[in-house]
Amino acid sequence: MDQFTGKHILSVKQFDRDSIQTIFSTADMMLPYAKREKRTRVLDGAILGNMFFEASTRTRVSFGSAFNLLGGFVRETTGMATSALSKGESLYDTARVLSSYADVIAMRHPQSGSVSEFSQGSMVPVINGGDGANEHPTQALLDLYTIEKELASNLKTIDNMHIAMVGDLKYGRTVHSLSKLLANYDNITFSLISPKELAMPDEVISIIEDAGHRVIIHDQLEGNLDADILYLTRIQEERFDDPAEANLYRGQFRLNQQIYTQHCKSNTVIMHPLPRDSRSEANELDTDLNLNPNLAIFRQVENGVLIRMALFALTLGVSDQVQQHECAVNWYSNKSISK
């Protein structure tokens, strides 16, 4: 039993540096299970209510697999329930009902603030899997966890690092949440690289600067990429009155191996919240980077499973029992082979 037991995970605002560290050290402990070197049945018999009122295959399956990796069952829903919610049921009632069926709930919903409102009716811990434009705290945590691990292998730390955030910084929920989490650390340099129309909101910049970090704003990619971490996001054509303008920007904020070699450090880590748009007109993150060992985008995905396993173990109060329920993996897996 610790600070997370029985609690909801709703917002990045609820974390400080200590609680983040608790989550990360729990995630570290999950690695051998996710890599299939061994397995654990610590949540054998427990039920996750994986309530996705908005479609999101990868986030939904990531939550579900994380729970299975701890030995538990998953009940789920995909897409807006046409029945109850459209019949005028309140989120409070929905939560009272659905929490009768589960030990913990992961929830995504298109409406900002909905998951928090839902949590007030729930009898079990609720983990926010994304509530519209508002929050997606497990994505922010997996991004931060990836940064810490990638930097560690480069003998660096989040403190004193240089991160460049690139692309649509105005509407990108991911970079906002990550920035707020990073505000808990010390002496970070933020290079914010975007078209002027898609600049980071002042509110987020204030949070970063008030925490004592350094912010540099650019509107072009070249010459500004010598960061420790390069976090790219999508330039979306629907944000522009003139789609041709979007294509212009997409051309300017595109990364490929040639640009990397010319402008990045030799170990600049490349991150992206995925999916990356690989159509030729977008191609924001060229596939010629797939062989670059600093491309961390698929390690982000793997870290997402670890973070979600950690959050389940913590909210259900079993993080200290994971190892005592260990078993061997008897089937073939090459996941334990380092890539």
Q: Give me 65's structure tokens.
A: 């697999």
Closest approach, Cβ 121 to a second copy, in A, equals 9
Nearest CB to a second copy, comparing residues 53 and 190? 53
Comparison of 97 and 152: residue with beta carbon closer to a second copy:
97
Find the shortest distance in angstroms from Cβ 147 to a second copy.
18
Of 64 and 195, which CB lies nearer to a second copy in the complex structure? Answer: 64
Q: How far is the CB of 125 from a second copy (least distance, A)?
A: 8
Give the nearer residue to a second copy in terms of CB position, either 142 or 158.
142
SS3 label, residue 40: strand
Q: Residue 87 or residue 196: which is nearer to a second copy going by CB?
A: 87
Closest distance to a second copy from the beta carbon of 169 (Å): 19
Q: Which helix or strand (DSSP H or E) is residue 271 part of?
A: strand 269-271
Q: How far is CA 9 from each of CA 15, 78, 189, 266, rounded to the nearest angstrom?
A: 9, 20, 28, 37
CB of 119 to a second copy, least distance (A): 14
7-46: b or e for each residue (b if 16 or more CB lie within 10 Å)?
A: bbbbbbeebeeeebebbbebbebbebbbbeeebbebbeeb
DSSP H helices in the chain: 17-34, 57-69, 91-98, 114-121, 137-153, 173-182, 202-210, 243-252, 257-263, 297-315
Residue found under tokens 């030729």: 280
- Buried (b) or exposed (e) across 50-66, using 16+ Cβ within 10 A? bbbbbebeebbbbbbbb
Burial of residue 190, with CB atoms counted within 10 A of its CB: 0-12 exposed, 13-18 middle, 19 or more buried: buried
Q: C-beta of 337: minimal distance to a second copy in Å?
A: 9
Nearer to a second copy, 11 or 315 (CB): 315
- 7-13-16-22 Cα dihedral, nearest 10 degrees: 40
C-alpha angle 129-135-139 in degrees, rounded to nearest 5:
60
C-beta closer to a second copy: residue 45 or 202:
45
Contacts of 211 (CB under 8 A, 6+ apart): 183, 184
**Residue 56 in 3-state DSSP?**
coil
Nearest distance, CB of residue 223 and a second copy, angstroms: 28
Evaluate whether 187 touches 213 at the Cβ level (below 8 Å): yes
- To a second copy, the closest distance from the beta carbon of 339 in angstroms equals 8
Phi-psi region of 212 (alpha: psi -120 to 50; beta: other; left: phi over 0): left
Nearer to a second copy, 122 or 191 (CB): 122
* Complex with a second copy: residue 34 or 158, whichever CB lies closer: 34
Nearest distance in Å: CB 277, a second copy:
4
End-to-end CA distance of the chain: 36
